[in-house]
Amino acid sequence: MIRGLLLLLVLLAGAAAAAQERLAITGGRLVTNAGPVQSGATLLVAGGRVERVLPAGAAVPAGYRVIDAAGKWVTPGLVAGLAQLGLSEVTGGADANDTRAPASPASASLVAASAWNPAETSIPITRRAGVTAAAVTPFPGDAIFAGQGLLVSLAEGARAPISERAFQYVALGTPGGRIAGGSRSAAWAELVNGLEEARRLRTGIAMPFRDQHKDLRITRDDAEALGLVLSGAQPLLVRVDRASDIRQVLRLPALYPGLRLVLVSAHEGWMVADEIARARVPVITLGMDNLPASFDQLAATMNNVGRLVAAGVTVALGTPDLDASFQPRLLAQYAGNMVAQARIPGGVGLSWGEAFAAISRAPADIFGMADRGRLEPGAAADIVLWSGDPLELSGFPERVWIGGVEQSLETRQSRLARRYAPGQERGGLPEGYRR
């Protein structure tokens, strides 16, 4: 029995070592996110990490399996700034949607990781598009605090998140005001009340908790969870759009020293870009809206992201909420649109490097994943080999590695396409009914 177990462990260790083999990816256009694009350079990978980059023409050391990337692009894996991967199999069905808890008495203390499903069918589809990691967020239900989001790797077989309690998400503006009682002032009062309860609890000056009453909308567990925000252990992601609301939110770090603030959506962020930059607050937004879908977005423009970046703001691309038009698998296309925006007369967009960073290095940095979103010594070997320019529709991922392990690009959809391809012989019953 013990001998058999030891043999199994040896075999598993050997399989892991084989999966994380030493690779030399040569001859392509290498994007490291730590310098300019390098044509013909060689990327060396060992032990699931980037070992080093060799200049074009350098000999590959012995012991590496060579992968020819001539005529192709080699980049870090994409990082989805915000997504619902693993929380929402079907957005229209409550049984398969764990993004919000509208009837729960808990809010900030909710942990989305406890509902995360690594087997959700959207994950392989997203991985096939070159996305190797994501920040997965819940959304507010009956309180402005949505709870704690998580960071995940999209690697095959991943069972545990990178971080289970990575950030806290809260909604202000019109959505938050609607939840809190009908106005922005109600949402702001609810936010400050929650942070104050957390501060009292942390300092030991806790007043008699009234939080079993629905009016206060925060329980002791929620206050304890918000203590992670006050200590800086978790960033506070604030969903806000209107310029005046953004200015109000930018007061929070002064009121609560140590608080790490991230703005989400920020459609009118360009109007206060200098203030956001001075506060060193990053922004996560989709950047594709140029029409006033609400009174919070009267000044929405496709130039928003370009103007924010020009002012010195760190911007990552991701979804602000359950926007049906957003899918993380389209991140490269959204970034490409930001490059195109710079080429329109009067448009303010991004350079190629800035746009690619917005879907790789920037979101990784915002969420403290310093070893992702770049290909430099010591970084995780999350790598995508593209057929062409990643930000052009003609470019697509041909191979994907996560942690140095090559990933299957198979999806449920690709299997179904093969199963029902024209010309296949069929029996009397669909394949799903056969035993």
Predicted pLDDT at 15: 45
**How many domains, the chain?**
2
Q: State whether 100 and 239 are in the same domain.
A: yes
User: What whole-number distance in Å separates Cα of residue 43 and Cα of residue 66?
Assistant: 10
Q: With bands split at pLDDT 50, 70 and 90, how would you rate the model's confidence at 208?
A: low
Residue 264: both structure tokens together: 């989400």
Classify residue 305: in a domain, yes or no: yes
**pLDDT score at 5:** 45
In this prediction, residue 321 has a pLDDT band, given cuts at 50, 70 and 90, of: low
User: What mean pLDDT value characterizes the chain?
Assistant: 88
Q: What's the CATH code of the domain at 58?
A: 2.30.40.10
Least confident of 6-15, 90-99, 144-153, 247-256: 6-15
307 and 256 in a common domain: yes
Instruction: Calculate the alpha carbon distances from 388 to 13, 57, 96, 162, 392 in Å.
Output: 36, 21, 36, 30, 8
Boundary residue ending a domain (317, 346, 372):
372
CB 235 within 8 A of CB 262: yes
Helix/strand/coil for 154: coil
Tell me, yes or no, whether 400 lies in a domain.
yes
Residues 16, 105 share a domain: no
Domain boundary among 372, 397, 424: 372
Query: Does 428 fall in a domain?
Result: no
Verify that 189 and 277 share a domain, yes or no: yes
Query: Does 19 reside within a domain?
Result: yes
Query: Which of 217, 214, 251 is closest to 236 using CA atoms?
Result: 251
Which is more confidently placed, 274 or 203? 274
Q: Could you tell me where the DSSP H helices lie in 313-425?
A: 331-341, 352-357, 361-366, 412-419
The reply to whether 431 falls in a domain is no
Rounded to the nearest 10 degrees, what angle do helices 220-230 and 184-203 cross at?
80
Percent residues over pLDDT 90 in the chain:
70
The domain that holds 295 is classified in CATH as 3.20.20.140
- Residue 211 is predicted with a pLDDT of 45
Query: Which residues are bridge partners to 397 per DSSP?
Result: 386
User: Looking at the structure, do residues 60 and 87 belong to the same domain, yes or no?
Assistant: no
Q: What count of other Cβ atoms lies within 10 Å of the Cβ of residue 290?
A: 13
Q: Is the pLDDT of residue 247 over 90?
A: yes
Whether residues 168 and 30 fall in one domain: no
For residues 281 and 204, the model is more confident at 281
Query: What confidence tens digit (pLDDT) does each residue in 110-130 have?
Result: 999 999 999 998 999 999 999
- Residue 15 in domain: yes
Residue 423 lies in a domain: no
178 CB-near residues (< 8 Å, 6+ apart): none
Q: Among residues 321, 344, 372, which one ends one of the domains?
A: 372
Q: Residue 302: is its pLDDT beyond 90?
A: yes
**CA distances for 201 relative to 76, 146, 148, 150, 227, angstroms:** 42, 20, 19, 24, 8
Same-domain check for residues 41 and 141: no
Question: If pLDDT is split at 50, 70 and 90, which confidence band does 11 have?
Answer: very low
> For residue range 211-245, what is the model confidence (pLDDT) as tens digits?
444 445 788 899 999 999 999 999 999 999 999 99
User: What is the spatial distance between Cα 131 and Cα 383, in angstroms, rounded to a whole number?
Assistant: 10
Q: Is residue 37 located within the same domain as residue 150?
A: no
> Are residue 148 and residue 131 in the same domain, yes or no?
yes
Domain co-membership, 254 together with 317: yes
H or E element in which residue 104 lies = none
Structural domain that includes position 65: 2-75+386-410
pLDDT-derived band at 431 (thresholds 50, 70, 90) equals low
Q: What is the mean pLDDT of residues 342-358?
A: 96
403 and 312 inside one domain: no
Whose CA is closest to 331, among 292, 379, 384, 369?
A: 384
Structure tokens at 268: 């009118």
> Residue 181 falls within a domain, yes or no?
yes
**Higher local confidence (pLDDT), 360 or 325:** 360
Q: Do both 37 and 71 map to the same domain?
A: yes
What single-letter amino acid sits at 45?
V
The rounded distance, in Å, linking the Cα atoms of 227 and 200 is: 10
